[in-house]
Amino acid sequence: MQVQPFHLAIPVQNLEKCRAFYRDILQCKEGRSTNHWVDFNFFGHQFVIHQKEGFIPTESVTNPVDGHDVPVPHFGVVLTWEDWHALAKRLKTVNTQFIIEPTIRFKGKVGEQATMFFNDPENNALEFKAFKDMSQIFAT
């Protein structure tokens, strides 16, 4: 089966602050927009932020994974190993406050992966990861 881009739309209170984050920090190309929503090319996927007055982000819970408290819910993408390392470096240079610092999880085991977690300006948790061996992405 050929993988198709996903579509994800989330509410935000401050459209311009979030627009700047996704466009300037994550370097997602901006697509169509109005005064109330913005489309982005989110690493090959369609991602939309919708301004919702009075929106209050819900507090996330955590789940323990390999010694870290992983925020749930969260979203993100699987990058190549090289792209993940480049993004981690760029995020560190702009002083990103990480929930979970860039790290290697399950080192030397099936599913070894690079991962990092951080919040967008509305406290939506994002995870970016990369697998050392992409054939293990769905390994059990």
CA 88 to chain centre: 12
Mean pLDDT over all residues of the chain?
Answer: 93
pLDDT value at residue 24: 97
Weakly modelled stretches of the chain, pLDDT under 50:
none
Instruction: Give 132: exposed, middle or buried? Use CB within 10 Å, 0-12, 13-18, 19+.
Output: middle
pTM of the model: 0.91
Q: Which two tokens stand for residue 86?
A: 């480049």
Residue 84 is inside which H or E element, if any? helix 81-93
pLDDT value at residue 48: 98
User: Which class is 61-136 in CATH?
Assistant: alpha beta
Residue 119 is inside which H or E element, if any? strand 113-119
Instruction: Give 115: exposed, middle or buried? Use CB within 10 Å, 0-12, 13-18, 19+.
Output: buried
pLDDT value at residue 54: 86
pLDDT value at residue 85: 97
pLDDT value at residue 12: 94
Domain borders along the chain are 7-51, 61-136
**Same topology for domains 7-51 and 61-136, yes or no?**
yes
Q: Are strands 75-78 and 125-131 parallel, antiparallel or unpaired?
A: parallel
The domain 7-51 having CATH identifier 3.30.43.10: the answer here is: no
